[in-house]
Structure 1
Amino acid sequence: MNSLCVAAIQLTSTKNWRENLAQVKELVGLAVSDGAKLVVLPENVFLFNGKGMRRLAESNDQVFLLNEISNLAMKYSIYLVVGSHPSLLRPSGDVVANGRVRQTCWAVGPDGTFIERYDKIHLFDVTVNDKAASYKESDVIEPGELALKVIDVDGFKVGLSICYDLRFPELYRELTRLGAEVLLVPAAFTYVTGKAHWDVLLSARAIENQCYVLGIGQCGWHNETRQTYGHSVLYAPTGEHLANLQEDPGYFVLTITKSALNDCRQKMPCFSHRRIT
């Protein structure tokens, strides 16, 4: 197909997964009514609570949630990408050790099948000048294997990543080498780091890889200390800004085309000009 209608869903998720699920259902329904065929949810979409990840992953609620995700994709016959969700099991089937989880990006097909998973590679262990002051994801999350994932969505090759991955350009260069034409970055950027770096990093990944880049963010205050940036956005392969949200929950829908992608790559054939590979 030459075109694909994509949607970004922006949320202020909390530790109450039932409320988060209700918001997702509402916004996905609205996006589909506007024509979306690929709908992407942000990082931590159903649970914004690091300390509760393992508990949810071990509970019966986990089975219910995964069924709801499958049913939602099947109900609307869409590709649904869950930005991240805690997984108790590694892809091998082994249980994650030391009370941690994998932070998994799930891609679900129109028939409700979980067609691919990507486990977050880069973990956010940093100091930030905000109310939280410091973050250490590795306390509750086990990094995934170095296994990059590209899926087919109605003829478009779509590369998966999560949040902090955005700061590592070699990951996206490899996704492009694997054929990616669209790069997904579901995220929960802090307000401070988002304001400083979110747009410039996303636009750079689009320009240097000549791909569409869709950044899907959490927004607002999730608790007393955690504020995220929002500003979900879609960039063209040329780096052109195509659509965006601000700092409130919501969604946007936009159609991307192969012709624009191919035109960009043909006029400026950067891939064939590379001297360092």
Structure 2
Amino acid sequence: MKRTLHLAVAQTGPIQAHHSRKEVVARLCELLKEAASRGARWVVFPELTLTTFFPRWSMDDPAQVRSYFEAEMPSPETLPLFELSRDLQVGFYLGYAELAGERQFNSSILVDGGKIIGKYRKIHIPGDAQAQENYPVQHLEKKYFEVGDLGFPVFDAGEARIGMCICNDRRWPETYRVMGLQAVDIVMVGYNTPVAYGRLGEPAHLPALQNQLPLKASAYQNTCWIAAAAKAGVEEGIPMIGGSCIVAPTGEIAVQALSEDDEVINYVCDLDLANGYRNNIFNFARHRRPEHYKAIVERTGADTTPL
């Protein structure tokens, strides 16, 4: 019998600084209900879903910074989402800022039946540790987050093997290959990506193209589905690229968000679609040659030293 999984992505419109956790969670609950009404089994929410994307600001007051972090999950404010997930029997991925004792991480959790069954902490932390002069958009994740310490685990979620990553992780091929080597079926990723970044001065069309490029290539090269949920619209004056989508193991986009608002997209994923690739061109056991890949883990930066 063919294995299928009904998957939804819940894009959110902008979340401004004045929006409370209660307001945001109410929006997420409506999106979860919409996904459930369509028959979805899993829903993917964006990175740092519960707040505005605060790393665009340089803050030095510890109390102000910690106000954006969650010391427990679920918290009293987020508990309604967990309870709704349990009642509807719809699992979800949620990105948030995690306070773990004195440590700060950009994290995501996998929740099923109202209980956390998996956690991931962002590994590829982009941006800077201090504000840069003449940048149209600051990106200060290195100021607020440690590098994740949980690796790239894959969780057996019953119907499928699910992995997670966050935003900038999606641009790095190693992210997906580590999960591909664990026979991942679905990679869930949330992101908050501005149209302008630093001083790159890119043409306006490139951020959206460069969002899709690694998603499509990685789904194909690692024989998995990828569900990518964006924050979209103009948040605190910064336009976000949006473009939430679900990508098939063929490298094709199965469905994509059309708006810059709260929007649910969904697709019944054929999990066996990957089998042809796993048994042929991307049969890792037959074709991979890790003895020639040592530089990937032994060398961080590029240089001219012979390998």
TM-based fold match above 0.5: yes
Specify which of 81, 87, 93 is matched with residue 98 of structure 2.
Answer: 87
Matches within 5 A, 1:149-164: 149-164=153-168
The Cα offsets for residues 245-276 of structure 1, whole Å up to 9 and x where unpaired, read as: 13422011111122212133234344222223
Cα separation, 1, equivalents of 2:275 and 2:121: 30
Say if 2:257 and 2:265, in contact at 8 Å, map to a contact too: yes
Cα separation, 2, equivalents of 1:182 and 1:60: 26
Residue in 2 aligned with 1:105? 108
Greater per-residue helix proportion: 1
5+ residue gaps, structure 2, are: 197-205, 294-307
Name the aligned partner's letter for residue 274 of structure 1.
Answer: R
Cα separation, 2, equivalents of 1:61 and 1:175: 25
Residue in 2 aligned with 1:125? 127
- CA shift at 1:66, angstroms? 3.5
Say if 1:206 and 1:212, in contact at 8 Å, map to a contact too: yes
Cα separation, 2, equivalents of 1:61 and 1:205: 30
Cα separation, 2, equivalents of 1:177 and 1:246: 33
Identical columns (%): 23
Instruction: Tell whether 2:267 aligns with 1:266.
Output: no
SS at match of 1:74: helix
Residue in 1 aligned with 2:303? none
Say if 2:219 and 2:247, in contact at 8 Å, map to a contact too: yes
Residue in 2 aligned with 1:18? 22
Say if 1:158 and 1:180, in contact at 8 Å, map to a contact too: yes
SS at match of 1:118: strand
The Cα offsets for residues 117-171 of structure 1, whole Å up to 9 and x where unpaired, read as: 111111121699x984331211122221152221123321111100000121112
- Change in Cα spacing, 1:142 to 1:183, as seen in structure 2 (3 Å) is same
- CA shift at 1:237, angstroms? 0.6
- Change in Cα spacing, 1:176 to 1:60, as seen in structure 2 (3 Å) is closer
Matches within 5 A, 1:196-207: 196-207=209-220
The Cα offsets for residues 14-49 of structure 1, whole Å up to 9 and x where unpaired, read as: 231332212111111011000010111011211014
Instruction: Tell whether 2:188 aligns with 1:184.
Output: yes
- Change in Cα spacing, 1:29 to 1:264, as seen in structure 2 (3 Å) is same
What is the alpha-carbon root mean square deviation over aligned residues?
Answer: 2.5
Residue in 2 aligned with 1:172? 176
Residue in 2 aligned with 1:68? 80
- CA shift at 1:58, angstroms? 6.3
- CA shift at 1:185, angstroms? 1.5
Cα separation, 2, equivalents of 1:58 and 1:235: 30
Which of these two proteins has the greater Rg computed from alpha carbons? 2
The size of the alignment, in residue pairs, is 265
Residue in 2 aligned with 1:39? 43
